[in-house]
Amino acid sequence: MTDPAGLRAMYTRGTLDEADVADTWVAQLRLWFDTAAADPAVLEPNAIQLATAGADGQPTVRTVLAKGIDERGIVFYTNYESAKARDLGENPRASAVFVWLAHQRQVRLTGPVSKVDRAATEAYFAGRPRESQLGAWASPQSRVVASRAALDELAAAVEARFTTGDIPAPPNWGGYRLAPVEVEFWQGRPGRLHDRIRYRPVGDAWVRERLAP
Ligand SMILES: Cc1cc2nc3c(=O)[nH]c(=O)nc-3n(C[C@H](O)[C@H](O)[C@H](O)COP(=O)(O)O)c2cc1C
């Protein structure tokens, strides 16, 4: 096995300064996100790792795709009966991180999470490929399934049910919005002296502070 202790990368791709960042976290995120999305070296630029913890306090993290980014927060879509949904039902707060390793950058967002309104879910669902729409109906996300064959049977049953016409959004599927109260931008620098700029709200403005790496 490759010894992970021996792996070393030089972080020299960029810098981040209080004087250069945008006034709001969303403006800064849009800049970095556009840079990531324009670079073929960045796979799934909208992937975020989403950490939740239910009433028992046990954190769980998984990847989801950010499908909306605006001043209200980050929107992702999932099954409302999944493990993450159960966590969010018990404790509607989360932390999420974009990691763009090709750019030696990460952005962490932390704050309360709420369901998006149904119209937004339905509009987003209507634009998904039919295959993904069927998958959302077929999968009892996070539950134990007996076998791959059992899952394929569920998928076949859904396909038989929706042979023609539009497929509605499943009632147990939809969006969540993480509305950050703290957003941190991280740019790798040499010697582990990385740049970290954190945004937090004070009154109507977002205060920017440098954090020690
Ligand atoms: C690149 C990538 C993108 C994913 N996007 C989503 C997504 O947008 N929504 C989702 O529910 N699961 C997505 N998943 C699957 C989740 O990571 C996870 O397996 C699933 O949501 C069940 O999580 P849970 O049991 O913790 O609720 C994605 C996984 C990967 C690796």
139-159: pLDDT as tens digits: 999 999 999 999 999 999 999
Q: Is residue 2 part of a domain?
A: no
Phi, psi of 10 (to 5 degrees): -95, 125
Note down the domain range covering 110: 8-210
Q: Is residue 21 part of a domain?
A: yes
Q: Is residue 3 part of a domain?
A: no
| Gap from CA of 77 to ligand 1 centroid (Å) | 9
Q: Is residue 40 part of a domain?
A: yes
Which residue out of 86, 161, 192, 196 is catalytically annotated? 192
| Gap from CA of 192 to ligand 1 centroid (Å) | 31
Q: Is residue 153 part of a domain?
A: yes
pLDDT digits (tens, 9 = 90+) for 72-131: 999 999 999 999 999 999 999 999 999 999 999 999 999 999 999 999 999 999 999 999
CATH number for the domain harbouring residue 179? 2.30.110.10
Q: Is residue 1 part of a domain?
A: no
pLDDT for the residue 32: 98
Closest approach atom of ligand 1 to CA 52: 26
CA distance 112 to 102: 29
Residue nearest to atom 30 of ligand 1 (CA): 63
Instruction: List residues near ligand 1 (CB under 6 A).
Output: 44, 47, 60, 62-65, 76-79, 82-84, 141-142
pTM: 0.97
Q: Is residue 177 part of a domain?
A: yes
Closest approach atom of ligand 1 to CA 60: 26
CB-based contacts of 82: which residues, under 8 Å, 6+ apart? 141, 142
Mean pLDDT, rounded, for 50-65: 98
Q: Is residue 46 part of a domain?
A: yes
Specify whether 192 is catalytic: yes
| Gap from CA of 155 to ligand 1 centroid (Å) | 18
Mean pLDDT, rounded, for 26-55: 98
Domain count, the chain: 1
